[in-house]
């Protein structure tokens, strides 16, 4: 069994090891590629300050790129007895390169390694979430434009209230995603700062060039203060989790609407047949299981910021092992949200809209406000018009006039979808994904 990087002459109790390592071996596989990228950048910097010769650096880079390819193929493993991804990479280098492999840890700690790995991982995953959010946004806008003239009831208190439209319904969730993108943009910018060089949280006596590693890794800037770089562990994950939770909140609400509108009592929409399931006893059933599961998953994602807060919020400055547990909650959240976004986009693109909802007389009363407003526009005081129409409804003599003349911004007749698209594009377009991708590719292809 491999010795721990920190082990001296005493052996570790196997039960203690099992408890302290937890799920790190499993979850750290997600960080392997990023740990290698960080090591390429760090060793480049070490060569620049004379801690490695040029030949040593080139030798390290060749082997690190080999290990990266192993990780890309899904063949990277963390061996039994090896604590984490950082130890595994260093072990592989040392086995192959001997003393050269042992030099790579100069000027860094596993504390700033995991900070770096998490930030590189999160940066990439946020890019994927942003792209998937934009895809769902585009589908919602397309459906809003296609169904802008199809009226449906609007509800307050789950009571039929006023005329709405599928243009409004689809467009509302599109604009909600534009606001969510603001959170994602802020999360990306906060994440995109370099903690490497903070070591165990108090810097190093080596003359590290942190500006160089910042540029090599494509960060916008560094976490300047080394103590704050370590304090950012947990805080960064919490703030990213708020952004994920914001998207999840939009999806959960939309899923609830879709499940309700799909029911026979409403009959407003029909979900794709392949997205529904049947009953073992009732042959007529078509259950909206995908949206129900999506709703539950997204509600759970909305709890993620609170879960992280409860782990890290009362910790003083410096590193504590408590922070390891955040990885178990945080890393899988991206995959879960991505799956929800893909499922939502698939269904929204294929959902069928009922164009004849208002043929049902039960919805006539929702045009009452239109009649009140029409009377008020003709000169009758609003309260008198309200009372007149109310008495007609009570007497059963109200006749609905279903002509709609809404023209103000954001209404049935003026959806402002072009402006909503511009809003989304201004936010999404200002997230510089290309800088990070270019930097990572350069590290791998020199």
Distance of alpha carbon 216 from alpha carbon 214, whole angstroms? 6
What's the CA gap between 107 and 109, in Å, rounded? Answer: 7
DSSP 256-274: HHHHHHHSTTT--EE--GG
Strands (E) across 247-316 are located at 269-270
Cα–Cα distance, 440 to 37 (Å, whole number): 7
State the Cα–Cα distance between residues 192 and 196, nearest whole angstrom.
Answer: 12
157 is catalytic: yes
Per-position DSSP letters for 325-355, written without gaps between them: HHHHHHHHHHHHHHHHHHHHHHHHHH-EE-T
Q: Which long-range contacts (CB under 8 A, 24 or more apart) does 12-16 make?
A: none
Does residue 61 carry a catalytic annotation? no
Tell me whether strands 151-156 and 159-165 are parallel, antiparallel or unpaired: antiparallel
How many angstroms separate the CA atoms of 136 and 134, rounded?
A: 5
Distance between start and end Cα atoms, the chain: 35
Q: What share of the chain is helix, strand, coil (3-state, %, to 5)?
A: 65, 5, 30
Q: For the chain, how many residues are written?
A: 446
Task: Give the pairing type, strands 193-194 and 159-165.
Answer: unpaired
Whose structure tokens read 């005493």?
Answer: 10
Nearest by Cα to 111 from 4, 243, 227, 14: 227
Catalytic residue among 146, 221, 263, 279: 279
> What's the CA angle centered on 403, arms 397 and 407, to 5 degrees?
135
Candidate list 157, 280, 284, 408, residue with the active-site label: 157
Catalytic residues: 157, 279
């Amino acid at each position: 069994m491999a010795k721990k990087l920190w082990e001296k002459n005493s052996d570790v109790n196997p039960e203690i090891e099992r408890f302290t390592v937890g799920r790190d071996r499993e979850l750290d596989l997600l960080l392997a590629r990023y740990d290698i990228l960080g090591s390429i950048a760090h060793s480049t910097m070490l060569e620049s300050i004379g801690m490695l010769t040029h030949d040593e650096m080139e030798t390290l880079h060749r082997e690190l790129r080999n290990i990266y390819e192993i990780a890309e193929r899904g063949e990277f493993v963390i061996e039994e007895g090896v604590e984490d991804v950082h130890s595994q990479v260093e072990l592989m280098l040392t086995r192959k390169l001997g003393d050269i492999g042992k030099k790579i840890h100069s000027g860094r700690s596993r504390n700033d390694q995991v900070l770096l790995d998490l930030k590189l991982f999160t940066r990439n995953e946020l890019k994927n979430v942003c792209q998937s959010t934009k895809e769902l946004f585009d589908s919602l806008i397309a459906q809003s434009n296609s169904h802008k003239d199809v009226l449906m009831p609007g509800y307050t208190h789950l009571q039929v209230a006023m005329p709405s439209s599928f243009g409004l319904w689809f467009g509302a969730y599109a604009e909600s995603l534009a606001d969510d993108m603001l959170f994602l943009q802020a999360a990306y910018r906060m994440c995109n700062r370099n903690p490497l060089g903070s070591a165990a949280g108090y810097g190093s006596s080596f003359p590290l060039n942190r500006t160089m590693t910042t540029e090599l890794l494509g960060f916008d800037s560094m976490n300047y203060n080394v103590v704050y770089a370590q304090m950012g562990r947990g805080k960064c994950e919490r703030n990213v989790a708020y952004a994920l939770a914001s998207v999840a909140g939009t999806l959960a609400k939309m899923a609830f609407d879709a499940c309700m509108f799909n029911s026979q009592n409403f009959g407003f929409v029909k979900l794709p047949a392949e997205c529904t399931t049947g009953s073992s006893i009732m042959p007529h059933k078509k259950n909206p299981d995908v949206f129900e599961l999506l709703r539950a998953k997204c509600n759970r994602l909305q709890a993620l910021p609170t879960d992280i807060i409860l782990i890290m919020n009362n910790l003083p400055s410096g590193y504590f092992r408590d922070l390891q547990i955040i990885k178990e909650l945080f890393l899988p959240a991206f995959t879960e949200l991505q799956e929800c976004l893909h499922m939502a986009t698939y269904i929204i693109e294929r959902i069928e809209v009922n164009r004849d909802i208002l043929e049902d007389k039960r919805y006539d009363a929702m045009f009452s406000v239109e009649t009140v407003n029409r009377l008020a526009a003709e000169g009758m005081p609003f309260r008198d018009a309200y009372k007149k129409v109310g008495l007609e409804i009570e007497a059963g003599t109200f006749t609905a006039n279903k002509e709609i003349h809404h023209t103000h911004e954001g209404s049935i007749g003026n959806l402002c979808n072009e402006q909503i698209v511009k809003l989304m594009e201004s936010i999404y377009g200002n997230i510089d994904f290309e800088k990070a991708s270019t930097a990572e590719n350069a590290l791998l292809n020199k």
